[in-house]
Amino acid sequence: MMHLFCGRELVDWSGQKGWRVDLVQDWCDPLHQARPLRGVCRESGIAFQAYSLLNAPGWRRKHGRNMVLTHPTILAIAAELETSAARSAHAYPHSLSPWQGTSLAPRSVFDRGGLRRVVMAWALAREISVLPRSTNAVHLAENLALLPNGASEPEPLVLPEDALRRIDELDGTEGDPYG
C-alpha cells in the first residue's frame, strides 16, 4: 500500500503499527535541504521527494524574488558549466527551448532552463526525488524541456563534485522564509 505523507508527520505515522511509509514529501531546496528528515528517510528506507525545489513561495514573499534560481552560487555554477568544455555534452539545444522566438528567449541556455537543470541535478545526485511545483504554463514547459525524451534530447546533467559541495554549503544560509 502506498501512502503519501507530509514530512513533518513521518515520526508520528511511522510509529503506528500496520502502517508503512513509502514516500515522504517535504519542502527542500538548496537553501533549505531538510537534512534531518532526509536522514531519517534514508535510515528507514523511505523515498524522499522535494516539494518546491526550485522556489518555495516563502522565499518570494520574504525577499521579493526567487532566491534559489537567483542565488550567486547557482548562477556561478551554471556559468562555469556553460563555459566549460563539457557544455556541449550537458546543455540542451536552443531548438528545445520553449522560449525560442519570444521575449522570454534566454541569452544563453543557462538563463532559465539551465538554472533549473543545475538545481535538479544537485537534488538527484543527493538522492532527492523532485516534483517541481508550478501553475505557470511557461515554467511547466521549461521543466518538461529538461527531461530526456529520446535520442535528440540531452543526457541527464551530472554536476562535478565541487559544484555539489558548493550547493550543499548553501543549506540554511538564507534563514527561514517562513520564520
| Fold adopted by 4-168 | TIM Barrel (3.20.20)
Angle CA(37)–CA(167)–CA(32) in degrees, nearest 5? 35
Is residue 1's pLDDT more than 50?
no
List beta partners, residue 32. 29
- For residue 7, the model assigns a pLDDT of 54
Estimate the share of the chain in helix, then strand, then coil, as percent rounded to the nearest 5. 40, 10, 50
Share of the chain above pLDDT 90, in %: 25
Instruction: Select from 175, 68, 161 the least CA-distant residue to 119.
Output: 68
* Tens-place pLDDT, residues 72-111: 999 999 888 876 534 444 443 433 333 344 333 344 444 5
Helix (H, G, I), strand (E, B) or coil at 56: coil
Check if the beta carbon of residue 21 is closer than 8 Å to that of residue 5.
yes
User: What predicted TM-score, i.e. pTM, was given to this entire model?
Assistant: 0.74
Mean local confidence (pLDDT), 42-48: 88
Which residues contact residue 121 at a Cβ distance below 8 angstroms, ignoring those fewer than 6 apart?
Answer: 156, 157, 158, 159
- For residue 116, the model assigns a pLDDT of 85
- Kindly list the distances between the CA atom of residue 39 and the CA atoms of 45, 83, 179, in Å, as whole numbers in the listed order: 10, 35, 23
